[in-house]
Chains A and B, each alone.
Chain A
Amino acid sequence: MNITTRCAWIGRMLLLVFLLAVSAGTSWGAEKVVRLMTTETDPNSVAALKGIIAEYQAAHRDVSIQPEFVAWSDIYKRLVATQAAGDPPDLVTIFEAQVSVLVDQGFLLPMNDVVEKIGKQDYFQNLLDSVTYKGKIWGVPSILTVDVLWYRKDLYEKNGLKVPKTWSELLHNIRTLHRPPDIYGNAIALATGLATDDFTVHSRIWSNGGTLFDKNGKVAVETDEVIEAMEYIRELAKYAPPGAASYGHLELINAYVARKVAHTQYGMRILTHIQRLAPDLLETTGAFLLPRGPRPGGRQVSHLWLKAWAVPKNAKQPEVAKDFIQFLETGDREVRWLHSVPIHNWPPRKSTTTSGAFLSHPLMKTPLGREAVNLVGEAISHGVFPTLETGVFNPKMPVVLEARILSKLAQRVVLGNTPPKEAVSLAAKELREVVAEK
Chain B
Amino acid sequence: MVPSFLVVAGLVLYPLLYSIWLSFQSRHIFSPTGRFIGLANYWTLLNSREFWESFKHGAIFSTVSVALQVFLGVVLALLVHRQFWGRTVIRGAMILPFIIPTVVAILVWKWMLNDLYGIINHWLLSLGLFGEPVQWLSSPGIAMATVILINVWLFFPFVLITVLARLQVIPVELYEAARVDGAGPLRQFLHVTLPQIRGVLFIVVLVRILWMFNKFDSVWLVTEGGPLGATQHVPIFTYLQAFGQLNLGRGAAAATLLFVFLSLIMVLYFHVFRPAEDTL
Query: Which residues of A are in contact with B by a Cβ distance under 8 Å?
Result: 76-77, 79-80, 83-84, 86, 101-102, 105, 107, 181, 190-193, 241-247, 251, 254-255, 258, 260, 399, 402-404, 407-408, 411-412, 415-416, 434, 437-438
Contacts and interface: CB of A to CB of B under 8 A. Distances in A.
B224 interface: yes
A107 B246 contact: no
Contact of A242 (B138, B224, B240): B138
Contacts of A434: 245
Interface in B139-171: 139-140, 143
Grouping DSSP codes into helix (H, G, I), strand (E, B) and loop, the B interface class, with mixed when no group exceeds half, is loop
Nearest to B138: A245
Contacts of B56: none
A33 B138 CA distance: 48
Contacts of A192: 223-227, 229
Contacts of B246: 101, 399, 402, 438
**Max chain A C-beta neighbours (<10 A), residue from B114, B226, B247:** B226
B3 to A, nearest CB: 14
Grouping DSSP codes into helix (H, G, I), strand (E, B) and loop, the A interface class, with mixed when no group exceeds half, is helix
B178 interface: no
Contact of B116 (A76, A258, A402, A437): A258
Interface in B196-248: 223-229, 240, 243-247
B31 interface: yes
**Max chain A C-beta neighbours (<10 A), residue from B117, B138, B240, B245:** B138
Contact of A407 (B29, B32, B226): B226
Given A192-B225, A193-B224, A246-B223, A254 B117 contact: yes
A326 B107 CA distance: 39
A106 to B, nearest CB: 8
B224 A190 contact: no
A245 B139 contact: yes
11 contacts: A107-B30, A191-B223, A243-B115, A243-B133, A246-B110, A246-B227, A247-B138, A254-B114, A407-B226, A415-B138, A415-B227
B244 A403 contact: yes
B91 interface: no
A258 to B, nearest CB: 5
Interface string B33-55: 00000000000000000000000
B30 A83 contact: yes
Interface in B8-43: 28-32
B176 interface: no
Given A243-B138, A245-B137, 14 more contacts: A80-B243, A83-B32, A86-B32, A105-B30, A190-B138, A192-B223, A242-B132, A243-B135, A243-B136, A246-B136, A254-B116, A403-B244, A404-B244, A415-B138
A258 B226 CA distance: 25
Contacts of B138: 190-191, 242-247, 415
Nearest to B224: A192
Contacts of A76: 29, 243
A411 B226 contact: yes
A244 B114 CA distance: 10
**Max chain B C-beta neighbours (<10 A), residue from A190, A193, A411:** A411
Given A77-B243, A243-B137, A412 B228 contact: yes
Nearest to B146: A246
Nearest to B118: A243
B151 to A, nearest CB: 17
B245 A242 contact: no
Nearest to A183: B116
Contacts of B114: 243, 251, 254
A244 B136 CA distance: 11
B224 A191 contact: yes
For the complex of A and B, the 10 pairs showing the least CB-CB separation, nearest first, are A243-B115, A245-B138, A192-B226, A246-B137, A105-B30, A402-B244, A246-B138, A260-B116, A258-B117, A243-B138
A191 B226 contact: yes
B245 A399 contact: yes
Contacts of B223: 191-192, 246
Contact of B227 (A79, A86, A399, A411): A411
A246 B140 CA distance: 10
Contacts of A411: 226-228
Interface string B237-268: 00010011111000000000000000000000
Nearest to B239: A77
A437 B41 CA distance: 12
B250 to A, nearest CB: 9
A415 B223 CA distance: 15
Interface string B107-136: 000100011110000000000000011011
A356 to B, nearest CB: 41
Contact of B29 (A80, A193, A241, A254): A80
A245 B136 CA distance: 10
Contacts of B240: 402-404
Nearest to B250: A437
Contact of B117 (A102, A190, A260, A437): A260
**Max chain B C-beta neighbours (<10 A), residue from A241, A242, A243:** A243
B93 to A, nearest CB: 29
A77 B138 CA distance: 28
Contacts of B132: 181, 242
Contacts of A251: 114
B265 to A, nearest CB: 28
Nearest to A180: B132
Contacts of B247: 437
A434 B223 CA distance: 23
A159 to B, nearest CB: 21
A408 B243 contact: no
A23 B246 CA distance: 37
Given A105-B31, A402-B244, A415-B140, A241 B224 contact: no
Contact of B245 (A246, A255, A403): A403
A225 to B, nearest CB: 24
B237 to A, nearest CB: 12
Given A191-B224, A402-B246, A241 B116 contact: yes
Given A242-B135, A412-B228, A79 B244 contact: no
Contacts of B139: 245
